């Protein structure tokens, strides 16, 4: 399993990189769970780690705005991100999800076909009135994305394991793999969640809070990144 760590600036990115993160995921928690950071921050982060690790960038917790999302995705790709992550936050129907993902994928791949599109749903989808992430493997595969992911929409400390059982998360991962997609699981992951995650075997686990010492509003600590990486 690869470890994706979400820094908000160059200082945190260097800590994440030195601690052993496999993917550096630039985001801006002030603008939501998958809040987007500025294009120049994506570039600065990439430079700060000498492009040693792939960069991921979140483009936002979206409602149904395929044009806005496609342009944001193009911006993230052209700023240097290898993984472009979109949150299907206020998306209620399969048609809306497909339309978002197909247009985002076309936008990113028209810039560089090697870039990866990540379709992120939310394990707490019921409380945010969003589409079930269990529908994303099929929709994502049809739309041409590379990876499907689950995160939490509200960051109140409740882990994805509070909302989804180990069996359901395994089903999500296995279903996505059956469509040839990679998978990522995130959402206030705690040390106790690492053992079940090893059984579920997503390709990537995504973290921030756990490597900030439990409070994602503080800063990423290199030694905690090393500790999580060692336990995977």
Ligand X SMILES: O=C[C@H](O)COP(=O)(O)O
Give the residue numbers annotated as catalytic, written as ranges: 27, 85
Number of residues that bind ligand X (CB under 6 A): 17
* Rounded-to-integer distance, Cα 62 and Cα 89, Å: 5
Name the one range near ligand X by CB under 6 A: 86-94, 126-134, 205-213, 219-227.
205-213
* Rounded-to-integer distance, Cα 117 and Cα 114, Å: 10
Regarding beta strands 116-122 and 83-90, do their DSSP bridges make them parallel or antiparallel, or are they unpaired? parallel
Query: Which of 141, 148, 186, 220 touches ligand X (CB under 6 A)?
Result: 186
State residue 144 phi and psi, 5-degree precision. Answer: 90, 15
Query: Which of 8, 55, 73, 207 touches ligand X (CB under 6 A)?
Result: 207
Closer to ligand X at the Cβ: 93 or 126? 126
* Residue with smallest beta-carbon separation from ligand X: 206
Closer to ligand X at the Cβ: 202 or 206? 206
Cβ 25 to ligand X shortest distance, Å:
5
State residue 39 phi and psi, 5-degree precision. Answer: -55, -40
Regarding 12 and contact with ligand X (CB under 6 A), the answer is no
**Number of other CB atoms surrounding residue 232 within 10 Å:** 13
Give the footprint of ligand X on residues 209-228 (CB under 6 A).
209-210, 216
Query: Which of 188, 197, 220, 228 touches ligand X (CB under 6 A)?
Result: 188
User: Helices marked H in the chain — which ranges?
Assistant: 10-19, 39-48, 66-78, 94-111, 125-128, 136-143, 160-163, 166-178, 194-200, 222-231
Closer to ligand X at the Cβ: 110 or 213? 213
Regarding 53 and contact with ligand X (CB under 6 A), the answer is no
Q: Give the residue among 60, 48, 57 at the shortest CA–CA distance from 23.
A: 57
Report CA torsion sign: 198, 199, 205, 207: negative
Give the footprint of ligand X on residues 143-182 (CB under 6 A).
151-152, 155
Which residues here bind ligand X, judged by CB under 6 A?
Answer: 4, 6, 25, 27, 151-152, 155, 186-189, 206-210, 216
């Amino acid at each position: 399993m690869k470890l994706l760590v979400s820094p908000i600036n160059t200082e945190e990115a260097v800590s994440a990189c030195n601690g052993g993160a496999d993917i550096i995921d630039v985001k801006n928690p002030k603008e939501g769970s998958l809040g987007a950071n500025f294009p120049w921050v994506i570039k600065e982060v990439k430079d700060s780690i000498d492009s040693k690790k792939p960069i991921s960038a979140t483009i936002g917790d979206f409602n149904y705005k395929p044009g806005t999302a496609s342009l944001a995705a193009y911006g993230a790709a052209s700023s240097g991100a290898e993984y472009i992550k979109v949150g299907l936050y206020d998306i209620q129907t399969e048609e809306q999800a497909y339309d978002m993902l197909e247009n985002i994928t076309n936008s990113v791949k028209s810039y560089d076909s090697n870039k990866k599109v990540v379709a992120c749903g939310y394990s707490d989808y019921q409380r945010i009135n969003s589409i079930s992430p269990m529908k994303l493997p099929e929709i994502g595969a049809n739309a041409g994305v590379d990876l499907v992911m689950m995160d939490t929409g509200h960051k109140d400390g409740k882990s994805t394991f509070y909302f989804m059982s180990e069996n359901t998360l395994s089903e999500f991962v296995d279903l996505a793999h059956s469509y040839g997609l990679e998978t990522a699981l995130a959402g206030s992951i705690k040390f106790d969640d690492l053992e079940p995650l090893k059984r579920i075997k997503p390709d990537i686990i995504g973290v921030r809070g756990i490597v900030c010492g439990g409070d994602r509003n503080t800063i990423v600590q290199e030694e905690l990144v090393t500790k999580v990486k060692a336990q995977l």
